[in-house]
Chain A
Amino acid sequence: MRSAGLFPHIPSYLGTYGSLIQQQLTMALLSVLFGLIAALPIALLCVRYPKIYPAMVGLLTVIYSLPSIALFVLLVPSTGLTQTTVIIPLSVYSLAALVPNIVEGIRGIPEDVRLAAVAMGYTGARRLVAVDLPLAVPPIMAGLRVATVGNVSMVSVGTVIGVGAFGALFTAAAQLSRSDLAVTGIVVIVALALACDLLLVVAQRLLTPWNKRRSA
Chain B
Amino acid sequence: MNVLSQAWGWLTTSANWSGSDGIPTRFLQHYEYSAEAVLIGALIAFPLGLLTGHVKRGGLLVTSLANVARALPTLGLVVLLVVVMGVKFRAVMIPLVALTVPPILLNTYEGVRNVDPQLTDAAKGMGLRPWQVLWRAEVPAALPLILTGFQFAAVNAVANTAIAAYSSFGGLGRFVIDGLATTDYGMVAGGAFLIVIAAILNLVIFAVLRKLLISPGLRQKKPTT
Interface of A toward B, CB cutoff 8 Å = 58, 61-62, 64-71, 73-74, 77, 107-108, 110-111, 145-146, 149-150, 152-154, 156-157, 159-160, 166-167, 169-171, 173-174, 177-179, 182-183, 185-186, 189-190, 193-194, 197, 216
Contacts and interface: CB of A to CB of B under 8 A. Distances in A.
Interface of B: 3, 59, 67-68, 70-77, 79-80, 82-84, 155, 158-160, 162-163, 166-167, 173, 176-177, 179-180, 185, 188-189, 191-192, 195-196, 198-200, 202-203, 224-225
B71 A70 contact: no
Given A167-B75, A174-B167, A179 B83 contact: yes
B179 A73 contact: yes
Contacts of A146: 70
14 contacts: A61-B199, A65-B202, A66-B192, A69-B177, A71-B192, A73-B180, A107-B224, A145-B67, A152-B71, A156-B73, A157-B73, A173-B76, A178-B83, A189-B71
A60 to B, nearest CB: 11
Given A67-B162, A73-B176, 11 more contacts: A64-B155, A65-B155, A66-B192, A70-B188, A70-B189, A149-B71, A156-B73, A156-B76, A170-B76, A171-B79, A193-B71
Given A61-B155, A73-B188, A153-B71, A66 B195 contact: yes
Given A156-B76, A159-B75, A182-B80, A65 B70 contact: no
Contacts of B166: 69, 160, 174
B203 A69 contact: no
Contacts of A107: 224
A65 B199 contact: yes
Contact of A153 (B3, B73, B158, B176): B73
Contact of B176 (A67, A156, A177, A189): A67
Given A62-B203, A65-B155, A65-B196, A186 B67 contact: no
